[in-house]
Amino acid sequence: MATNLRRFKRFGSVFINNSSPLRGLSSSSAVLGSVDGQVQQPGTGTGKSINLYTAINQALQIALDSDPRSYIFGEDVGFGGVFRCTTGLADQFGKHRVFNTPLCEQGIVGFGIGLAAMGNRAIAEIQFADYIFPAFDQIVNEAAKFRYRSGNEFNCGGLTIRTPYGAVGHGGHYHSQSPEAFFCHVPGLKVVIPRSPKEAKGLLLSSIREPNPVVFFEPKWLYRLAVEEVPEGDYMLPLSEAEVIREGSDITLVGWGAQLAIMEQACVDAEKEGISCELIDLRTLIPWDKETVEASVRKTGRLLISHEAPVTGGFGAEISASIVERCFLRLEAPVARVCGLDTPFPLVFEPFYMPNKNKILDAIKDTVNY
């Protein structure tokens, strides 16, 4: 276990050397986007190799450029943000469209709801997902219910809340959490998590142009680590569509965000032992693409879900229950969940907490040999 951090270090260098296993994870379903939200067929546009924060930056630049009624705001976004995602945007679009707010998450989201309710695209940044909780009431009781409670008299569909989530190697319990499951319990919200730069750009543009409020979690570990070719222009990836990123026949693996890179490694190792794994990126957690997961499990007869958040009450539990309901008789083994431990996110023992490749590989073998 102690080699975990070293492994990630190696993993990182692989990414940066541009021969990353994440290349295999890149999207094949990228489509060109347009301002009015129409999804178009992909062109043959070439892109540069860029990292994830640069891809986010490109998406935000396009969002501001394509709609004069779009705004970006949050703590420290004016100078480019602590993760550099808003670099250069205030200079390009003006300080009335890209601006700092006071340090107050409930204020940021409440402000964003009001701005969106006036027909604007309000792109709010919460600096870390760990700090989103002061805004929980505004997200759960206000943003999610704004349209419903008014009978569609009013809506805040233009609201997108971007926030970095997940492990980063040294973040401890207040810079590493994955709180996505809390928001998946709320009808009226969409929850989106990208796995790579190309995915991040296309999904973020879709989220910003989506007529419902979206919580968009960005895997902060991949901001600089993940590099892939990203089309330079404006394109969108569909929400609520999962993607099979590796086909296989013995077991289905479902994950999202940064965890997919770990799961991909486990799939590669399992293949060496003769186990064929199908890997699915859920991409949108609610409303999620049950059909794609169900079709895969009907084929493989086995399901493994993996996420960084603690196992109890995590979104893996929901996927597991839904799939058992839908294909109980096709299952050859109990659904496996390889997730974070039921503890606060640790600091020095982060490698023990994490659902790493070896834990996943063990679970794959156990499930296949059940």
Partner 1 sequence: MAIWLAGRKGADYFTKTLISTTFRSLRTSSTVIASFGDSDDSSTGNFRKPYSFFPCADSSPAAVFRSRRFESSQAGPQLDFFSSDDDDEQIQGSMDFPGGKIGFTSEMRFLPESSEKRVECYRVLDDNGYELSSPKQHMNKEVAMKMYSGMLTLDSLDTVLYEAQRQGRISFYVTSFGEEAINLASAAALSSDDLIMPQYREPGILWWRGFTLQEFVNQCFGNKNDYGKGRQMPIHYGSKKHNYFTVSSPLATQLPQAVGAAYSLKTEKKDACVVAFFGDGSSSEGDFHASLNFAAVLEAPVVFICRNNGWAISTPTTDQFRSDGIVVKGHGYGIRSIRVDGNDALAVYNVVRVAREMAVTEQRPILIEAMTYRVGHHSTSDDSTKYRPADEIEHWKTSRNPVSIFRKWVQRKGWWSDEQESEFRANIRKQVINAIQVAEKTEKPSLETCLLMCMKSYLQV
State in angstroms the smallest separation of the CB of 133 from partner 1.
Answer: 12
- Examine residue 45 and tell whether it contacts partner 1 (CB under 8 A): no
Active site residue 105: yes
- Examine residue 115 and tell whether it contacts partner 1 (CB under 8 A): yes
**Which tokens sit at 93?**
């679009």
Q: How many CB atoms lie within 10 A of CB 197?
A: 28
- Examine residue 274 and tell whether it contacts partner 1 (CB under 8 A): no
* Cα distance between residue 328 and residue 13, in whole Å: 42
Whether the Cβ atoms of residue 162 and residue 126 lie closer than 8 Å to each other: yes
State in angstroms the smallest separation of the CB of 101 from partner 1.
Answer: 7
User: Which residue out of 75, 125, 142, 175 is catalytically annotated?
Assistant: 175
State in angstroms the smallest separation of the CB of 179 from partner 1.
Answer: 19
Residues 180 to 239: which contact partner 1 by CB under 8 A?
187-188, 211-212
State in angstroms the smallest separation of the CB of 143 from partner 1.
Answer: 10
- Examine residue 123 and tell whether it contacts partner 1 (CB under 8 A): no
- Cis amide linkage into residue 287, ω under 30° from 0: yes
Alpha-carbon torsion, ordered 170, 254, 133, 346, to 10 deg: -30
Residue 14 belongs to what H/E stretch? helix 4-16
Q: Measured from the CB atom, is 10 or 149 closer to partner 1?
A: 149
State in angstroms the smallest separation of the CB of 240 from partner 1.
Answer: 9
Rg from Cα positions in the chain: 20
Name the 3-class secondary structure at 277.
strand
Segment lying near partner 1 (by CB under 8 A), choices 114-122, 173-181, 227-235, 262-270: 114-122
User: Which residue out of 105, 210, 294, 350 is catalytically annotated?
Assistant: 105
Q: Measured from the CB atom, is 210 or 264 closer to partner 1?
A: 210
Q: How many CB atoms lie within 10 A of CB 91?
A: 11
- Examine residue 154 and tell whether it contacts partner 1 (CB under 8 A): yes
Whether the Cβ atoms of residue 174 and residue 167 lie closer than 8 Å to each other: no
State in angstroms the smallest separation of the CB of 287 from partner 1.
Answer: 8
Whether the Cβ atoms of residue 357 and residue 262 lie closer than 8 Å to each other: yes
Beta-bridge mates of residue 30: none
Beta-bridge mates of residue 341: none
- Examine residue 38 and tell whether it contacts partner 1 (CB under 8 A): no
- Examine residue 150 and tell whether it contacts partner 1 (CB under 8 A): yes
Segment lying near partner 1 (by CB under 8 A), choices 89-97, 265-273, 308-316, 329-337: 89-97
**Which tokens sit at 138?**
């505004």
- Examine residue 110 and tell whether it contacts partner 1 (CB under 8 A): yes
- Examine residue 74 and tell whether it contacts partner 1 (CB under 8 A): no
State in angstroms the smallest separation of the CB of 272 from partner 1.
Answer: 43
Q: Are strands 303-310 and 336-340 parallel, antiparallel or unpaired?
A: parallel
Active site residue 175: yes
Closest CA to 135 of 114, 162, 155, 107: 107
What is 39-70 written as a DSSP string?
Answer: --------EEEEEHHHHHHHHHHHHHHH-TTE
Q: Measured from the CB atom, is 81 or 188 closer to partner 1?
A: 188
Phi, psi of 338, rounded to the nearest 5 degrees: -115, 105
Residues 280 to 299: which contact partner 1 by CB under 8 A?
287
- Examine residue 153 and tell whether it contacts partner 1 (CB under 8 A): yes
* Cα distance between residue 188 and residue 286, in whole Å: 9
Which residues are known catalytic residues?
105, 175
Residues that bind partner 1 (CB under 8 A): 71, 95-97, 99, 101-102, 104, 106-107, 109-120, 122, 134, 137-138, 141-142, 144-145, 147-155, 157, 187-188, 211-212, 287
